[in-house]
Amino acid sequence: MKTHVFFVDKNVDDLNTYPHILQAASYLQRGELVAFPTETVYGLGANAMSTTAVENIFVAKGRPSDNPLIVHIATKEQLHDIACDIPPVAHTLMEHFWPGPLTLILPKKEAVSPRVTAGLNTVAVRMPNHPIALALIQASGLPIAAPSANRSGRPSPTTAKHVLDDLDGRIAAIVDGGATGVGVESTVIDCTTAIPTILRPGGVTKEDIEQVIGVVDIDRALVEKGAVPKSPGMKYTHYAPKAPLIVVNGSSTFLQQLVNEKRANGLRVGVLTTEERRHTYEADVVIPCGRRNDLRTVAQHLYDVLRAFDETNVDIIYSESFPNEGMGVAIMNRLLKAAGHEQVMEK
């Protein structure tokens, strides 16, 4: 299969009638796979109502079958095709955060393919805040199931090149709309529980949500080692670069000592740091990932940096850790998953 790449400027005045958008939408209508940009990462889209189309996502990604997919919509009218018994708290969250990087878990309608929901009686839905994504969904006339457009386990794609690197020849088309913005996936919150529960931290923080609806719970698996996650997909290792990654909880001096020990044994060592500390470390490869004084920039560049290490032939990567609050919760969640939860604590 040849993967077609359509270059689309997100600033085009009328994206809804733009030829490349209409062509990509026709692929989706035929049950084929199309990667497209959102404000978080690139998604790999298929018709959420077609089990055959959705099955192609799992094949292309090598994705475990018990890992549910998020359905993307462009209008609230589409929501009523896939969800029912929508609680008031969900409507409040939509009013404040849609379109945007917040996914709501809601009771599903039977029309949604069971492959989307992994057999659960709920469906994950969001409305992306990206003009190309919204135009493509509207042009297709379909709700679009779309996980990240990468091979399963790899860092999520924030550019069309990342998608092509992982999925060239496996999917029908990529809509190249430039680099994404937020950089980490959407926050997932279960609205079917008595107290809404965050299942995955992401582009909307716990603090952001609590300002709108009051106290929310956090899935125990996000804070307790060994706890079984409520969301099936959260149990898998994700985002991993090719070299082993270890998260370091400690001072810059401690991290440098770890680097020195590995280099003394003949290994090439990489360090993931921030702009403020990029000249602090002596290692074979040092890559800054945003600014520590603005953690949203760290989130924005995280996956790009993890992929950049793959081009360096390092044997091991040490990463600084980040405050476990605000956007730092999502960053640490992704880093620890990329590291297979390998971390070192300074004594």
List the binding residues for L-threonine.
40, 72, 122, 126, 146, 186
Task: Give the closest residue to 236 by CA, choosing from 104, 115, 64.
Answer: 64
The binding site for ATP comprises: 63, 67, 148, 156, 200, 239
The binding site comprises: 40, 63, 67, 72, 122, 126, 146, 148, 156, 186, 200, 239
94-97 long-range CB contacts below 8 Å, 24 or more apart? 94/127, 96/212, 97/204, 97/208, 97/209, 97/212
